Amino acid sequence: MRGFPPIQIFLLVLTFVVLAIPLSQLTGAGSHAKAAAVKVVESAGVKALLRVRYAHKPVTLSVKIADKELMAGIAGSPIEVPTGLPSVKDGVDVFLSATWAEGTPDTSITLELEPDGLASRSETRWSAAGSLDEVITFEWK
């Protein structure tokens, strides 16, 4: 015995409508979750952590923020230095200078700056002819 097709179609459509209501509630455009706000600290001093990584050990290495020398000596990679930043409102300029021994191929140095309460930023620079002099600007928006 076969069913009556209009009734079968009606029951199928009714099933889809009943399932569509809770599904639309779950996948609707309106979100009840609050987005995490990025906190930009605008105070006069911000604590931060600076990481320096390199592939080949440099002969000399200088890292400065606001005319303050941060690197006392060259250690194994990575080097972590706690520091204070004057302000992150307009960005932070890091002055990087390094030299390598004769015969060292072009190599890279990566600086990673992580202020308290903000996401970390990372920049990599490559040397040319055994030396590197760069000003790297880190910004948080």
pLDDT in tens, the chain (141 residues): 678 889 999 999 999 999 988 888 888 765 555 444 444 434 457 888 888 888 888 888 888 888 888 776 677 778 888 888 877 777 888 898 888 888 888 888 888 888 888 888 888 988 888 888 889 888 887
141/34 Cα distance (integer angstroms)? 19
20 belongs to a structural domain: no
54 belongs to a structural domain: yes
C-alpha dihedral, 74 to 78 to 84 to 86, nearest 10°: 90
| Residue-level pLDDT at 7 | 92
User: Domain span at residue 120?
Assistant: 46-138
pTM over 0.85: no
98, 126, 101, 116: which is closest to 48 by C-alpha? 116
58 belongs to a structural domain: yes
Work out the widest C-alpha separation in the chain, in whole angstroms: 92
Question: Number of structural domains, the chain?
Answer: 1
| Residue-level pLDDT at 32 | 53
116 belongs to a structural domain: yes
32 belongs to a structural domain: no
C-alpha dihedral, 110 to 49 to 78 to 106, nearest 10°: 20
51 belongs to a structural domain: yes
| Residue-level pLDDT at 15 | 94
| Residue-level pLDDT at 43 | 43
40 belongs to a structural domain: no
123 belongs to a structural domain: yes
